[in-house]
Structure 1
Amino acid sequence: MYVKRIYLKNYRNIKEADLSFDSSLNLFIGANAQGKTNILESIYLLGTGTSHRTNRDINLIHWGKDYFYIKSSIIKRNREITISFGYDGSKKEIKVDNNPIHRISDLMGYVNVVIFSPEDLQLVKGGPIFRRRFLNLDISQVNPYYFHNLQKYNQVVKQRNLLLKEIREGKKVVDLLFVWNQQLTDLGSRLIKKRLEVVEKIDILARLVHRRITDGRENLKLKYESSIGEISNQMTREEIKEIFENRLKKEQENEISRGVSLFGPHRDDLELTVNGINVRQFGSQGQQRTTALALKIAELEYMKSEMGEYPILLLDDVFSELDAVRKSQLLEVIRDKIQTFITSTDLDSLEEINGKYRLFYINDGQVVQKKGSE
């Protein structure tokens, strides 16, 4: 899978650009705030339907303009597909091979992307929301049905929270919770079961990568932490659903008094330990960086195992954050296998890169292709 070409119009600070890419490495060089990340973001948008930097599409429109438009040619399993994405300030228009896409869940799976930026250290040292987002995006890209259930689940949580507040205020009766509890546990148990399956796979992949980076000195372990109680991947979905239902019954008064849904996949976390020590709380910065890198490489390998081909990799100014050992491990994974887009403020910081690549310089939203390495 690779992006053959992309056309951008009024996207962020890029007035217009028509770019053709190498199927392997593409390097974008420029000072900060010149538009490098905007190129990567546009590719991410085509794969996921959302930006990784903002949840407001209006922010993606060039200042003073009233719309943006992206069109790309993607080679997937030796077939060329066209994806376009437009937004006029009020309405999105997404098309695949000129056929309208009405739901983001229907876009998932056409272009698989993995992004790695300095902010991804939050995947290890940040709060649970970062690790839930990691799992949700990974699974959604290879299983659009999961994304569809996730959207429905989030709506149920929102409606249930409103009901809990109204019950607390005496405006509604407790019996109304039954219907929402049924939906919450049905959808929630589906999400949890799928997450358990995926964590088991990523755990194995990440541990292997982590041991290579640390020369076998450290052992990374991933464990899914559920807010509903003790569960495992050996359980059936029905067993998980029953545990969820019992937790809601037990904590009903607590949830009503708080006016919020306290249990379910929207409150779960992913525990990361290195040699048995919680790396988020007690790991060194070096251990946290290594863990983040191992997770990202495992993400690539997981998608490859599920989809039969590697996703597109977006590396946003991460080489300056990695030492020689981590750079070497990352380059070993991507070399000649994965289409990769790399941004940096200067070409010298990418001196470890060899082989074929296409080179672009960006200044104030203007993208100029230079002679790369053939």
Structure 2
Amino acid sequence: MILNHLSLINYKNFDSRKFQFDQKINCLVGANGKGKTNVLDAIYHLAFGKSYFNPVSSQNIRHGEEFFLIEGAFERDVDGDSEMSGNAREVKVSCSFKKGAKKTIKRDGKIYDRISDHIGEIPLVIVSPADRDLILEGSDTRRKFMDGVIAQSDRAYLQDVLDYNKVLSQRNALLKYFAANSQFQPDTLEVYNGQLQELGERIHARRKAFIEAFQPYFTAQYQTISGGGETVSLHYKSHLDEGPMEELFASSLSRDRLLQYTTKGIHKDDLKMNIDGHPIKKFGSQGQQKSYLIALKFAQFALMKDRLKGTPILLLDDIFDKLDAGRVAHIVGMVNGENFGQIFISDTHANRTEEIVAQTHQSYALLKL
């Protein structure tokens, strides 16, 4: 997938700005606050219908304005199998939001009935300092990572996750109702249990299969970045490893009623991240943690490329900070191969970026903000 043109109106710090991009490497350089990351986020917005950094749509509107509009002109890979516009290679995607109204995504002028129907149409991977939350924050962040990767190639999975979360909210509301009204209706609760069991078991199986397939990609990427000095691993942990959801609901019923929410299920799944057999959150240096996260995202890229039969767009936000020269050299060697397509890089140091990118011997554009 290639992004040829991007137009922004009232998006974050931009009032009106148009960009034309190189088909290989695009370097966005400038001081902090100039909008480098905002350009990357706008591209992400076109792929996922939301900001990577701030999910509150109204807060992505330029201060003092009432709406934002993002428009992009894309070109598909020749071998891509996306459903975009049938066999057409060029497609225009827009994302707009007005205060007090619903967000709208259009493909070649046609509005999507559901934003979720657009997910996977523009394969894209972002690497950002915000990814550190995958290591430092709670399990919800890591579940979203798994779900986001799987959903780009499996729309049925995305719908299962959306349906599960909806039923989960209904079950939790029912538990609160029981507590507030000093009553209990097991038959009514069982209706939600059955729906969660069916959806949850499908989601669990898909997540488990994903990690099994993803692990070799991740290990290989980390070894390339680090030079082979450490051993890394991922372990998928779920309540469903303990038994079927029917038994989990039965064993946790008293606690659920007491706490008034569902305490067990795939909404509590986690992804354990280790380096040399220990949690990277506690035992990894800043450089190791950043390499770990970059390897995660590069593995996502490689897996998606194989499954989608097309090349995702790669966004690299401030990727060179906190990496030693050796690891930077390994990354340059990786992106210099034929495996990567169009790449966007943001950095505050124009000279550093241009020097690094020149080593790839690829065509590039240096865009100063």
Q: Please report the TM-score for the alignment, with normalisation by the length of structure 2.
A: 0.91
Q: CA deviation at 1:360?
A: 1.0
State yes or no: 1:91 paired with 2:102. Answer: yes
* Residue equivalent to 1:233: none
Aligned partner of 2:17 in structure 1 is 17
| TM-fit CA distance, 1:245 | 1.4
- Matched letter for residue 152 of structure 1: D
Residue identity matched to 1:272: M
- Partner residue, 1:346: 349
* Deviation string, structure 1 residues 129-186 (Cα, Å, up to 9, x no partner): 2211111111111112211111111111111111112223324423311000111111
1:227 and 1:264 in contact (8 A); partners too? yes
Is 1:42 the counterpart of 2:42? The answer is yes
Counterpart CA distance in 1 for 2:282 and 2:155 is 33
2:226 partner amino acid: T
TM superposition shift of 1:109: 1.3
Whether the 8 Å CA contact 2:93–2:106 is kept in 1: the answer is: yes
Amino acid across the alignment from 1:340: I
**SS at 1:320 equivalent:** coil
Q: AA paired with 2:282?
A: Q
Structure 2 residue identity aligned to 1:353: V
Q: In the alignment, which of 350, 358, 364 is matched to residue 357 of structure 1?
A: 364
Say which of 154, 157, 161 aligns to 1:146: 157
Q: How far apart are the structure 1 equivalents of 2:286 and 2:19? A: 37
Query: Offset of 1:291 from its aligned partner?
Result: 1.5
The gaps in structure 1 that reach 5 residues or longer are: 231-241, 363-374
- What amino acid sits opposite 1:151 in the alignment? L
User: How well do the aligned residues superpose, as a CA RMSD in angstroms?
Assistant: 1.6
Counterpart residue number, 1:188: 200
Question: Per-residue deviation at 1:211?
Answer: 2.2
- Aligned partner of 1:369 in structure 2 is none
> Aligned partner of 1:348: which letter?
N
* 1:48–1:141 CA contact under 8 A, matched in 2: no
Q: Between Structure 1 and Structure 2, how many residues are aligned?
A: 351
SS of 2:152 mapped into structure 1: helix
Q: Please state whether the residue corresponding to 1:55 is helix, strand or coil.
A: coil
SS of residue in 1 equivalent to 2:16:
strand
Task: State the alpha-carbon separation in 2 of the partners of residues 323 and 73 from structure 1.
Answer: 36
Question: SS where residue 22 of structure 2 aligns?
Answer: coil
Partner residue in 2 for 1:286: 287
- Tell me if structure 1 keeps the 8 A contact 2:172–2:261: yes
The more displaced of 105-114 and 169-178 is 169-178
Displacement of 1:207 in angstroms is 0.8
Q: How far apart, CA to CA, are the structure 2 residues paired with 1:348 and 1:114?
A: 25
Kept in 2, the 8 Å contact 1:14–1:35? The answer is yes
In the other structure, the counterpart of 2:179 is: 168
Q: Aligned equivalents of 2:227 and 2:120: distance in 1?
A: 35
* Matched residue SS, 1:77: coil
Q: Distance in 1 between matches of 2:130 and 2:23?
A: 26
The farther-off stretch of 39-48 and 281-290 is: 281-290
Select between 45-54 and 273-282 the one with higher mean Cα deviation: 273-282
Q: How much has 1:107 moved relative to structure 2? A: 0.5
**Cα separation, partners in 2 of 1:222 and 1:266, compared to 1, 3 Å:** same
Q: Deviations over 1:100-148 (max 9, x none)?
A: 1121221011111111111212222332122111111111111122111
The one-letter amino acid paired with 2:346 is T
Q: For 1:334 and 1:101, how far apart are their aligned partners in 2?
A: 34
How far has the Cα of 1:51 moved from its partner?
0.7
From the superposition, tell whether residues 214 and 318 of structure 1 become closer, same or farther in structure 2 (CA, over 3 Å). closer
Confirm or deny that 1:81 pairs with 2:85. Answer: no
212-221 or 14-23, which moves further after superposition? 212-221
Letter in 1 for 2:317: D
Distance 2:183 2:59 in 1: 39
Q: In 2, Cα distance between the equivalents of 1:217 and 1:68?
A: 46
Whole-Å separation in 2 of the counterparts to 1:221 and 1:17? 43
Which deviations, in whole Å up to 9, do the C-alpha atoms of 1:26-50 show, x marking residues without a partner?
Answer: 0111111111111111110111111
Q: Distance in 2 between matches of 1:186 and 1:270?
A: 22
Q: In the alignment, which residue of structure 2 is the partner of 1:109?
A: 120
Alignment check: 8 A CA contact 1:10 1:62 kept: yes
Contact 2:225 2:331 in 1 (8 A): no
Is the 2:235–2:273 contact (alpha carbons within 8 Å) kept by the matching residues of 1? yes
Q: What displacement does 1:329 show?
A: 2.5
Name the CA distance, whole Å, in 2 between partners of 1:249 and 1:184: 13
How far apart are residue 218 of structure 1 and its match?
2.1
Percent of matched pairs sharing the same residue: 33
CA–CA distance in 2 between the matches of 1:357 and 1:147?
A: 35
SS at match of 1:358: strand
SS in 2 for 1:353: helix
Return the alpha-carbon distance in structure 2 between the equivalents of residues 361 and 287 of structure 1: 30
1:196 deviation in Å?
A: 0.9
Q: How does 1:121-270 map to 2 (within 5 A)?
A: 121-169=132-180, 170-230=182-242, 243-270=244-271
Q: Which runs of 4+ in 1 moved over 6 A?
A: none
Q: Say if 1:65 and 1:95 are closer, same or farther in 2 by CA, change over 3 A.
A: same
